[in-house]
Amino acid sequence: MKLSIIIPCYNEELTVENIVSKIKNVNLGEIEKEIIIINDGSTDNSYHIIKNIRNIIFLNNKINIGKGASIIKALNIASGKYIIVQDADLEYDPNDINKLLSEVKNKKIDVVYGSRILNKNNKFSHISFYYGGKLLSLITNLVFNSKITDQPTCYKLINTKLIKSLNLKREGFEFCSEVTSKLLKRKVKIYEVPINYYPRTSKEGKKIKWVDGLIAVYVILRIKFFND
């Protein structure tokens, strides 16, 4: 089996090479890794760093088109049976990918999320990020009658044929809410496993803003009530 690991990167010159190294060093057993990195119009040295990384598929956006748009671009060429998105920073531990894969193999399922909330030892860089994520999860659960704990998690392991069939089109951070909403609208069961989380602050490079949460709520409601 092959796993496509999609890494959107915007101005992550300090961490992108490190995270790729960590991914390459993770032992996934017999599972082959397909690493796809998308430089999303970075204005720092990310492009030149990624260009020199070996044994990856490198896509380059000349201008910044957004995290969601970059992931969709990578999805079009992903050839693994499953995909997972890996942020180009160090907030998520690639060793945890094995936890998600174990669920897939043992339960023969199509979707597993890595939940930061289920790991009680995790900390968050700011209370607003913690409660913002909790609120998005709550709204999602109320709208779709689901019980997920970490809707905005980056670690979403999904059958590639399934995710390609969702007609995804959101270009920014709201992409995560679009994926979850469209899965739940199809009545797809989303399983969760606890994962580690090592947050950074906005000063350290965290890019998501409160307005992104409002856009995500709008997307959830559009998909639920207007099939958008």
Q: Which of 184, 170, 183 is nearest to 219 (CA)?
A: 170
What is the C-alpha separation between 97 and 95, in angstroms, rounded?
Answer: 5
Query: 37: alpha, beta or left, given left = phi > 0 and alpha = psi -120 to 50?
Result: beta
Domains of the chain: 2-226 (3.90.550.10)
User: If you compute the radius of gyration of the chain from its CA atoms, what whole number of angstroms results?
Assistant: 16
pLDDT value at residue 206? 66
Q: Which of 41, 23, 224, 79 is nearest to 143 (CA)?
A: 224
CB-CB contact of 35 with 85 (8 Å): no
pLDDT tens figures, 51-63: 999 999 999 999 9
- Per-residue burial over 175-204, b = 16 or more CB atoms within 10 Å of its CB, e = otherwise: bbbbbbbbbbeeebebbbbbbebebeeeee
Q: How far apart are the first and last CA of the chain?
A: 33
- Strands of 18-119 (E only): list them: 32-40, 57-61, 82-85, 111-115
Residue of 168 and 124 predicted with greater confidence:
168
- Rounded to two decimals, what is the model's pTM? 0.95
Q: Give bridge partners of residue 40 from the DSSP assignment.
A: 61
pLDDT tens figures, 6-65: 999 999 999 999 999 999 999 999 999 999 999 999 999 999 999 999 999 999 999 999
Q: Which of 40, 41, 39, 57 is nearest to 49 (CA)?
A: 39
pLDDT tens figures, 74-105: 999 999 999 999 999 999 999 999 999 999 98
- Strands of the chain (E only): list them: 2-9, 32-40, 57-61, 82-85, 111-115, 156-159, 191-194
Q: Give bridge partners of residue 156 from the DSSP assignment.
A: 113
